[in-house]
Amino acid sequence: EKFKRGLEKTRNSFSEKVNDLIARYRKVDEEFFEELEEILISADVGVATVMELIDELKMEVKRRNIQDPQQMYSVISEKLVDIYRGGDEQPTALNIQPNGLTVILFVGVNGVGKTTTIGKLAYKLKNEGKTVMLAAGDTFRAGAIEQLEVWGERVGVEVIKQSAGSDPAAVMYDAIQAAKARNIDVLLCDTAGRLQNKVNLMKELEKVKRVIEREIPGAPHEVLLVLDATTGQNAMSQAKTFKEVTNVTGIVLTKLDGTAKGGIVLAIRNELNIPVKLVGLGEKMDDLEEFNPEQYVYGLFA
Ligand code: GDP
């Protein structure tokens, strides 16, 4: 239900256009595909992904000898899910260890919703019965530490911090010791997101990761890149840059409730081969959902 509500803008715009298209055509022909192509591009699915999708749809229509546009609902849905899955079944669920401390690192530029996502995920995990701690690793941006503390208080989880300007790797070291001492299940780590200086960002993230790896073999268990869905192709270019800088294991796509262009989910997965793991569907504490491709795609036509 929350998923449906959060996707309202995308659903309204996309399903309205597809409904209209299907109603106007009596036969699935070349023109039908041309119009469908435009609809997909306007939903930010991305040109490369749209081309691939249209090709696959044409093959499927030919293979099954489909003529009636009504049949295209299920064909389109199936292919959208296929493209999302990309053949290999990459898990969309978070890699949370059944035993011991799980460390999740958050990266992304300012304003995308990183702090909010950390707060929301802390709330979600706590509700699932896990003990959670936050590490204020963005020591660079003024206000970042305080903002994380506000979320910590709101959710009722401890925040490990040092003063502004201190070494993020030292914050992580402290946080890991504290998490071990208090038997914490999941440690959520904020980091600074300066893309202006790629070399510095890379060095900082590498240093942070080294400290984490040294303290807990196999950690960090996730490096989640937070992207703002309302920024469309800009989010795509941020993702490309972060992928060069560090080993991103999953995407959190925020503000999906604020855009009609939810197709960006598909473009990111298909063009970058990184699974979208969580989606932000609003500003409230419980507006974070695990991403499920079937639910998402079928929700578009519901
Ligand atoms: P940060 O700079 O990346 O840490 O970004 P913040 O967490 O401070 O978020 C920036 C703004 O985006 C805030 O006003 C948040 O309330 C808002 N925001 C974050 N996630 C979502 C979301 O999923 N939906 C909506 N509508 N707003 C969001």
Q: Is 115 in the pocket of ligand 1 (CB under 6 A)?
A: yes
Q: Is 191 in the pocket of ligand 1 (CB under 6 A)?
A: no
Cα 260 to middle of ligand 1, angstroms: 17
Q: How confident is the model at residue 87 (pLDDT cuts 50, 70, 90)?
A: low
Residue identifier of the C-alpha nearest atom 2 of ligand 1: 111
Q: Tell which atom from ligand 1 comes closest to the C-alpha of 279.
A: 23
Chain centroid, CA 243 distance in Å: 14
Q: Is the pLDDT of residue 3 over 90?
A: no
Mean pLDDT of 159-185: 97
* pLDDT, tens only, 106-135: 999 999 999 999 999 999 999 999 999 999
Cα 282 to middle of ligand 1, angstroms: 8
Instruction: Give the pLDDT score at 196.
Output: 75
Mean pLDDT of 275-297: 92
The answer to whether ipTM exceeds 0.95 is yes
Beta carbons within 10 angstroms of residue 278's beta carbon: 23
* pLDDT, tens only, 190-200: 999 877 788 88
Question: 119 among the known binding-site residues?
Answer: no
Cα 217 to middle of ligand 1, angstroms: 32
Q: Which residues of 216-225 are buried (b: 16+ CB within 10 A; e: fewer)?
A: beebbbbbbb
Question: 191 among the known binding-site residues?
Answer: yes
Cα 18 to middle of ligand 1, angstroms: 30
CA proximity to 150, closest of 120, 192, 125 = 120
Residue identifier of the C-alpha nearest atom 20 of ligand 1: 113
Instruction: Give the pLDDT score at 240.
Output: 93
Question: 113 among the known binding-site residues?
Answer: yes
Cα 273 to middle of ligand 1, angstroms: 25
* pLDDT, tens only, 233-269: 899 999 999 999 899 999 999 999 999 888 888 888 8
Instruction: Give the pLDDT score at 38.
Output: 95
Percent pLDDT > 70 in the chain is: 98
Residue partners of 266: CB distance under 8 A and separation at least 6: 45, 46, 49, 80, 83, 84
Mean pLDDT of 215-240: 94
Instruction: Give the pLDDT score at 222.
Output: 97
Who wins on pLDDT, 1 or 35?
Answer: 35
Mean pLDDT of 219-231: 96
Cα 107 to middle of ligand 1, angstroms: 14
Residue identifier of the C-alpha nearest atom 9 of ligand 1: 113
What 8-state DSSP symbol labels residue 8? H
Question: 111 among the known binding-site residues?
Answer: yes
CA proximity to 259, closest of 238, 279, 237, 239 = 279
* pLDDT, tens only, 18-41: 999 999 999 999 999 999 999 999
Q: Is 185 in the pocket of ligand 1 (CB under 6 A)?
A: no
Q: Is 116 in the pocket of ligand 1 (CB under 6 A)?
A: yes
